[in-house]
A and B are shown apart, each in its own frame.
Chain A
Amino acid sequence: MVTREPEYFPPAENFVAQLGRHVIFFCRAVGQGGLLFLQAVLAMRFALTKRARQEIIVQMFVSGIKSLGVITVVALFTGMILALQTGIELSKFNQEVNIGTAVMVSMLREMGPFMTGLILAACVGSAMAAQLGTMVVSEEIAALEIMSIDPVRFLVMPRLVAMSIMTPLLAFYTCIIGVIGGGIVGASQLGVSWVSYIDNATRFAGAKDLYVGLFKALLFGVVITILSCHEGFATTQGAVGVGYATRKAVLVSFLHVLILGYFVTRLFYV
């Protein structure tokens, strides 16, 4: 059951009690998030029904196509900054031709999935939390539950499937645009021809870089969806609560993208 009864807590008597309460709330949130993920995964058996397919396509459009503009700009300038920074240093040793490798490997391994994750957390995750939060406040979630329509199957599962598909695709797109951005800087400011830039970029980047990057992106997509939906469902206190849930969803998603990014890198490259 997603709908929760209102909770009231007396003020904590001292710092230790306050801390203990935060620890309990944290553990509860982790448990609820894990349960939501399991329920959404189990609901994927309904992903091929007509309505679910339609909803998944809508969510893919919302999370993917609508984010394309901002992702293009961010990816282009990320690639340009990477090329410029590394190019300036490498040019001191007449090695500026190697910016291709630096940009390609950085984008594939880290910057592509990372930037995609942050953008989706800010644009899509916040929208998910706000929409579900508003639905909680306006009793639409309760209405679904009374009609015996599972809100996780109806709302979370299509978003999870859509984000699981679109985040790796967007991360790959981010990498391509970033590499193009790096090439523009190389050709226009560092005197590196497009041919040698692309040759250098493709020579040292391996398939593993691509797979790990895409895996990271997939992980980010799942985590952003579950965290955002969880925060949305946990909304209380009306309009103020929706704002609070949205802010928290973005904040927690950012932190998870950052922390998970480190551990996945460590897992595959150390």
Chain B
Amino acid sequence: MIRFEKVTKVLGGKPVLDGIDFEINRGETFCIVGASGAGKSVTLKHMVRLMTPDDGRILVAGDDVGSATGADLARVRNRFGYLFQSAALLAWLSVAENVALPLREKHDVDEDEILDRVHKTLAMVGLENDGAKVPSEISGGMRKRAGLARAIIESPEIILYDEPTSGLDPVTSRTIDRLIGKLREDLGVTSVVVTHDLHSALAIGTRIAMLNRGRIAEIATPEAFMESSSEEVQRFLAAQYITKEAPWERDQQ
């Protein structure tokens, strides 16, 4: 579905992505983990051409994103829903208006249908009673869910999550995790989750990639990731108090 071929990106003389190669399959939840500055968000931004690679190619369902412009770029981007770290809701619009925005701006859809779809989508993320509120009136977790509702309103094939649980308490984080899993099951979407929360990645990921200094240190299933011989992976696991003996949240669910 998404393929990175020797993608390199240099920012400020420093290689943020150093010839990375990986492929994300249709329908999987692919988690990208790593320390701050490892290149996780940069990787995500390359998928929707908010950044362009200095070298290499990024293919989304066969389309080269790096060279796409105009209508081609719009076609590629229409495959994606994107949940930003800050949710990126427009401050002067209500939650419902934010969610309805892509439908109103891009599609010739009847207003009654828009309201129906918005209500259904808000219900999916548990915000059916908060549509009239503006972003400043709701909590961080609710903002993320509202951002997620906006990301899925057009039924995208791929949803990109940029640090979906950052800044949230553990209970709300797990709620977001469950929501990501539910969307995958209900909508059959491909999910790419950038996070430094390994608990989250182990709970929701079908595969986990670890980025370290712009390179892929490991790509594996959660089980294999825990067994990885990579020094960086084991250091990262230990830093989050995750050991092989500790019960996974995956099991708890």
A residues contacting B by CB (< 8 A) are: 1, 3, 5-6, 8, 10, 51, 135, 138-140, 142-143, 145-149, 154
Please give me the 5 A-B residue pairs with the lowest Cβ-Cβ distance, nearest first: A8-B12, A143-B88, A148-B74, A139-B88, A146-B82
Interface of B: prevailing SS: loop
Q: Which of A3, A8, A10, A51 has a CB less than 8 Å from the CB of B11?
A: A8
Interface of A: prevailing SS: loop
Interface string of B37-62 (1 = CB under 8 A from A): 00000000000111110000000000
A148 to B85, CA, bound (A): 19
- Is A148 in contact with B84, judged by CB distance below 8 angstroms? no
Chain A residues near B247 (CB, 8 Å)? Answer: none
Q: Which of A3, A6, A140, A145 has a CB less than 8 Å from the CB of B90?
A: A140
- Is B84 in contact with A142, judged by CB distance below 8 angstroms? yes
Chain A residues near B150 (CB, 8 Å)? Answer: 147
- Is B105 in contact with A142, judged by CB distance below 8 angstroms? no
A139 to B52, CA, bound (A): 17
B102 and chain A: residue at smallest CB distance: A147
B12 and chain A: residue at smallest CB distance: A8
A142 to B41, CA, bound (A): 13
Contacts A5-B51, A8-B11, A146-B80 given; indicate if A154 touches B105 (C-beta within 8 A): yes
Most buried by B among A8, A51, A142, A147: A147
- Is B48 in contact with A146, judged by CB distance below 8 angstroms? yes
The smallest beta-carbon distance between A52 and chain B, in angstroms, is 10
- Is A6 in contact with B11, judged by CB distance below 8 angstroms? yes
Chain A residues near B49 (CB, 8 Å)? Answer: 1
The smallest beta-carbon distance between A227 and chain B, in angstroms, is 22
- Is A5 in contact with B52, judged by CB distance below 8 angstroms? yes
Most buried by B among A5, A138, A146: A146
